[in-house]
Structure 1
Amino acid sequence: MDRPTFLFDGDCAFCSSCARFIENRIKPQADVVAWQFADLDALGVTEDQVSSAVYYVAQGHPVTAGPAAIADLLRGSTLPWRLAGGVLAFRPVTALAWPVYRWVARNRHRMPGGTAACALPENHPARAS
């Protein structure tokens, strides 16, 4: 794995819209890949993990999820985004971002670009958070 990989849910229209924004506007130094098309075993993550949150996987770097993964992605980008990633990576900010992230994940079918197909199943672990 030469470049870091940022994994998102390719079955979710809202997540896919966010991934396109990341690729087109943020232009990270990472591959932005729907987890459904990634070799999860080679990346060291499970389907249960990546179906609950975005993940950032980089060689020699701890695997991160949710807001921490977004912070890592942003910190590997251009200056204005790198600054935002630095702020988000600050532990108190990351801790505050998790409840917001979980709320968005539970309501992603209601977000711009989202569809009913984006809704997490009632028994999905992310819905309980």
Structure 2
Amino acid sequence: MIARYLMGAVLVFDGDCGFCTKCIEIVRRHMRIRARITPWQSADLAGLGVTRERAQYELLWICERGVYGGAQAVAKLLIDAGPPWSLLGLTLRLPPMRWAAHALYRLVADNRYRLPGAGSACALPPERLHSDE
């Protein structure tokens, strides 16, 4: 259950992952989003209605309407950023782009430890690599 006290959206990312942190720095520098951005390591996950396992697995966009993870969290972020980003975000919400975005997100997330800026904290445990959560 999502906290009823939630005021605005919250973007939850992995603050221990260098690649994820670099992406958030780019978002903060180039986009105007209204959501609060916080690493899962310092977020009240139970209060936000999500588990630690889910927060470790994917980027999360949490708002009054629900919890969106992975590529759909990215789409919500882009929509919130306004023009010209919102058009891309809206496109990522529709099939077949939605399916392609999900596949690309999983490919990047499952291999983030190999990407620039990544460190050992970026590697997901083997049992989490192919979770359907």
Taking structure 1 as the reference length, the TM-score comes to 0.90
Question: Helix, strand or coil: the match of 1:79?
Answer: coil
Q: CA deviation at 1:2?
A: 1.5
For 1:9 and 1:29, locate their aligned partners in 2 and report how far apart those are by CA, in whole Å. Answer: 19
Question: Helix, strand or coil: the match of 1:51?
Answer: helix
Among candidates 18, 23, 44, match of residue 13 of structure 1? 18
Number of aligned residues: 126
Computed over aligned residues only, the root mean square deviation of the Cα atoms, in angstroms, reads: 1.3
Counterpart in the other structure of 1:57: 62
Percent identical: 37
For 1:45 and 1:102, locate their aligned partners in 2 and report how far apart those are by CA, in whole Å. Answer: 19
Map of 1:14-33 to 2, 5 A cutoff? 14-33=19-38
Q: CA deviation at 1:43?
A: 0.6
Among candidates 26, 48, 51, match of residue 53 of structure 2? 48
Supply the AA of the counterpart residue of 1:116: S
Taking structure 2 as the reference length, the TM-score comes to 0.88
For 2:21 and 2:11, locate their aligned partners in 1 and report how far apart those are by CA, in whole Å. Answer: 12
Counterpart in the other structure of 1:78: 82
Unpaired segments of 5 or more residues in structure 2?
A: 1-5
Q: CA deviation at 1:99?
A: 1.6
Q: CA deviation at 1:100?
A: 1.2
Question: Helix, strand or coil: the match of 1:2?
Answer: coil
Question: Helix, strand or coil: the match of 1:64?
Answer: strand
Q: Displaced runs of 4+ in structure 1, greater than 4 A?
A: none
